Structure 1
């Protein structure tokens, strides 16, 4: 009798991939992603309070709120857009035109767990309260709840989020549409009990609309920078619970990655134009990684749907028999050859392209991101045809030289920090440049030791505390070099 373990079943592989895609502390764990974004919000508010001439006290008070009080504000589309816009202005040396403080100063920030925009929604509907605080875009009625300019600003963001502008006002959902949306969310979380709740937790608002895009009628979109934390979808996406669930996964995955990338970069070389065989216009490299992230999740959804248990089918009906994927663009390689019409074909192409790049195009986080996705993909499709790289293609850029061990090193005064002990990270913002830097446990320890002692003394103390042994000097030299380049040491 053979003692060899039997290969995992399709359902077992789906379960493992479902768990893997929420396990990574940088890209998968929604709680960790949320904690980083709260820390970034707090430090950003404190930095803006230093630079704002009109309402610094308002921003400072905001930064002192508890995590639970901050989350509805961080998830508010208008406030998040203003926050990101002001951070960009500070990074570009334009502190004279900040707008968040003026807006917040006129808002009632009641401790009721509602963001300002959510407070306008009449009726107030939360489609999946057990998985997150998302609310539905119903009638936006400012009344005495918030200033009318907030409603106007929300509408501006809505108009700007749709390519070419919307062809109609937002569609106000009927009670039946609300039920169908909740039903789609229920299916998603039962089909993928790890990934489903994770992505829904990154959605703050769901709205309905009709519009046109370059590829035809608008099906759905996720807001990103123009309309943060928001999903817009055509009402027709609700006609079938499987389509509704797929739409929520599709756009929720994009919002989750948007939040994750606020605390780190994937690319060292961003300005790379990538030919896409099923599209006429090349993509930037970051879009390739975003699309690969989406296709891996979609392949998991499709495999889970294929092997859905009878109870799920009894409650929601049979899943679609064929894969529904965006049509290839006319007059492209894919259109001529009949290729790249499936998610798997597209994932293979995108992953293969990134794997062929010189390694110096990706950051350490970028390489981790890629391998994490490929591990999940190989669980879902053992015959994916994508192999891990077998060697190093290219060289990692050389670091600037570190000061000699006799040189004293000290933390600069123009920095603010916020520790995240559960993540083993320290977030530091350079108040001169508004650049934020995420230090891991090693860098955090070395940074804390740079109190005026020389580099040799830092290395000795770091070695004693960390047990790094002979590697201590190399660790310290590399870290001091990076921290000095970031303007955090002098």
Structure 2
């Protein structure tokens, strides 16, 4: 191991183990506890919710992890708690909670008490190994299914992920599954601590064909289906291409979970009308790609770029002959790849967020941004790979 790689080990450990900003074990437990608390809170206010939740609880009286990680459950609970915080929870919202818990109970009865309620049906038991000891379910199209959770997932995908853009959720083939496994394996071989930390935030993975006009869709996730990432076959064409994209998208999932238990912005609901960060590498603006970002969008990009600084250095330092024999060499030209631009963009975005954040950032938020900047600074600049 070189002196330079000693430095990378230190940075990687920091980016994977900070108790508030990066440690997956702590962050995911806090997120699960939030949703358990949400169920308990709703049980206190509704006999129907209490009765249904009792049928879902395990022997210790807890809501199982598979339920607290379920994306459809999380969205319904998020909305219910948000309405309670605003002082009201109308009849339709209570009906959504009751319906979701009933469907979850039915799914657990069908697939087993420890199965992922949505995942068990939509994946037909297929999975992707996203990290050692961690498997995400692999979405299928559930053709011909009458299961309500499956249909709800597919409807949510059409409405909230595609949002009118032509596209399809693909039925995954054995080759898709192999390429996904290989790409995540490449990430975990290159960055074992960071790969495991990011993989912990994956609940589901899907393969999509999205036909956007004038640009190539790569991968994405959406708040209405939290912890599930949809990859295009384009990003699955090579292990290192997928490794970068899996890291990128997994970092968005991680940031969502971080913000579930820690306040980074003082008033997130007002950010759309707040300060903007100019994006100099986007020369033209469109509805899809504005060249001025609200602080939360800038933070999401900065969080990814700060980690890609480490990814880029690791490709330069840790790409042993054994790894190249197993996964091949990174492509010399992959236009959608972002790691080649990460250092400059990470510093620019981090400094702009701190400069423009003002009262929009909490003290915790400023500490988070400063910590990420310090981590990016600690990586010595390698020659390009």
TM bin, normalised by shorter chain, reads: 0.7 to 0.9
Structure 1 residues 256 and 226, CA, compared in 2 at 3 Å: closer, same or farther?
A: same
Partner of 2:324: 313
Q: Matched residue pairs, number? A: 360
- Measured against aligned partners, the alpha-carbon deviations of 1:149-170 in whole angstroms (never above 9, x if no partner) come to 2222101221233354342331
Structure 1 residues 374 and 94, CA, compared in 2 at 3 Å: closer, same or farther?
A: same
Structure 1 residues 102 and 162, CA, compared in 2 at 3 Å: closer, same or farther?
A: closer
SS in 2 for 1:113: coil
Higher-helix-fraction structure: 2
Matches within 5 A, 1:400-411: none
Partner of 2:12: 18
Q: 1:134–1:201: 8 Å Cα contact kept in structure 2?
A: no
What is the distance in 2 between the residues matched to 1:68 and 1:317? 46
SS in 1 for 2:169: coil
* Structure 1: gaps of 5 or more residues: 1-7, 328-339, 384-490
Structure 1 residues 212 and 303, CA, compared in 2 at 3 Å: closer, same or farther?
A: same
Partner of 1:252: 250
SS in 2 for 1:86: helix
For the aligned residues, what is the CA RMSD? 2.7
Partner of 2:311: 301
What is the distance in 1 between the residues matched to 2:205 and 2:140? 9
Matches within 5 A, 1:147-166: 148-162=147-161, 164-166=163-165
Partner of 1:5: none
- Measured against aligned partners, the alpha-carbon deviations of 1:420-458 in whole angstroms (never above 9, x if no partner) come to xxxxxxxxxxxxxxxxxxxxxxxxxxxxxxxxxxxxxxx
Matches within 5 A, 1:217-256: 217-223=216-222, 225-256=223-254
Partner of 2:134: 132
Structure 1 residues 290 and 168, CA, compared in 2 at 3 Å: closer, same or farther?
A: closer
Q: 1:16–1:379: 8 Å Cα contact kept in structure 2?
A: no
SS in 1 for 2:229: strand
Q: Does 1:103 align with 2:100?
A: yes
Give the TM-score taking structure 2 as reference length: 0.85
Q: 1:13–1:380: 8 Å Cα contact kept in structure 2?
A: yes
SS in 2 for 1:134: strand
What is the distance in 2 between the residues matched to 1:249 and 1:341? 15
Shift of 1:173: 1.1
Structure 1 residues 359 and 121, CA, compared in 2 at 3 Å: closer, same or farther?
A: closer
Q: Does 1:264 align with 2:274?
A: no
* Structure 2: gaps of 5 or more residues: none
Structure 1 residues 285 and 196, CA, compared in 2 at 3 Å: closer, same or farther?
A: same
Shift of 1:20: 0.8
What is the distance in 1 between the residues matched to 2:357 and 2:250? 31
What is the distance in 1 between the residues matched to 2:9 and 2:331? 21
Partner of 1:278: 281
